[in-house]
Structure 1
Amino acid sequence: MADGKWISYLRVSTDRQGKSGLGIEAQRNSVSEYLNGGEWSLVKEYVEIESGKRTDRPMLAEAIKACRAHKARLVIAKLDRLSRDAHFLLGLEKAGIDFVAADMPNANRLTVGIMAMVAEEERRMISKRTKDALAAAKRRGKKLGGDRGVVPTKRARALAADALKARADSRAADIAPIVAELQAAGRLSLRDIAKGLNEAGIPTARGQGKWSAIQVRRVMARM
């Protein structure tokens, strides 16, 4: 049973299909049937007319941004509406969102499960290599261990700062389309935009509290 927030993504392969509505309505019905029941809300629907052989689909990119902004899940009618390329499907995990195909609800869990197994194997191999290296160092007479109160180097601090900045910039990029919609609707002040974000249920960066004018100003400065 579906619950929470959802973003739907519908795709057809040709302009002719898009103009006639062929395929779109069937996909929309499949999504509706999957979401039927439970406590859920469909935040927005994205429709794209594009070939499945391409992965640079702007509407899908917008749908992914909306999922991150609303902390919602992506729902599609059929698995092949995204891509027949397994590598591209795995890329959704890197996008930081979860997705479900109405015709194959367990596909997402299967994909994530495969990735988890691969990651677990990699962690096991890293652990084994680390232990082997430590054992070899010990045999060479090298003293292991050291000061636990290590002070981060200047480079380490710079890298950490860059990572935080990149995360904040990415969040601002996800919210930018929503802010643009609010401004187009006449909400121009920082306070009005903050109110609009709160009304739309957009979580703050930390996922706690409500948007304020100061927070909106900080985000807009990064756009």
Structure 2
Amino acid sequence: MFSRFLFLKNASYQWVLDERLIEYLCFLSKDKPWFTYGQKGAALMEHAVAYFRCSTDRQQSSGLGLDAQHQDVAILLQDSPMAVDREYYESESGKRNDRPILKKAIRYCIKTKAVLIIAKCDRLTRKALFGARLLDSKMKLIAADKPWATKLDLLDEFIRAEREGEVISKRTSAALQAAKRRGVKLGTACQLLALKNKLLARAFARKMAPIIQDLAAQGFTTIRAIVSELNRRRIRPFHGRGYKWHRNTVCKLLHLIKELHFSPQL
């Protein structure tokens, strides 16, 4: 791997090699498939793999979680001499270490010496020990939200992600116990499905709260304006396969956000 100080920015703010170094670096890297090189002055790109993870199939199909991850990775690549060769998508819990798609991504990175790019550390894993093992492996790892992070910084993020995962698990367990105390028979399939949908709706509201707050800050302060902007951004509602919001769905979302103690200034 070549350090960034070997690169210069051209007039288009792209990372390019100094003319005096291109021939020497091409000679050194001619047998290394993780570099792309060509004419003098052309960008010398470091190969990378992007891994995206959502916790549930619903979150993946909605595109809400993936959109944020795509945006983080895209911002990183705008100012970096890296090119993404492959993208891997997976819908699994971050607490699982035996995820098949993640294994494929790791094997490819080790085989080709490509960099593994993730949006955030909690998208890779919510197990600090597993994250530490990856950091200690031969694979290079970059978190798009903290591209400057050292291995110790990333380890701190993995610890934070595991702690956050434990909080989520306790919250879910408490909700199930509360439902049981109310007389809900947790063994009943329909009731379990209803409870699961309620928990998913609350999780969706937590994800949407910052977006609603951002819309309010930009002047979208009426139900009609929020409906129009959410549809324009093609953000899918909790229910429904299309990108179609209505007054009723927005009102339900705002009510649920209020119940969760979020308070967008509308």
Q: TM-score, normalization: structure 1?
A: 0.46
Indicate the structure whose relative CO is greater, using CA pairs within 8 Å and at least 6 residues apart: 1
TM-score normalised per structure 2: 0.39
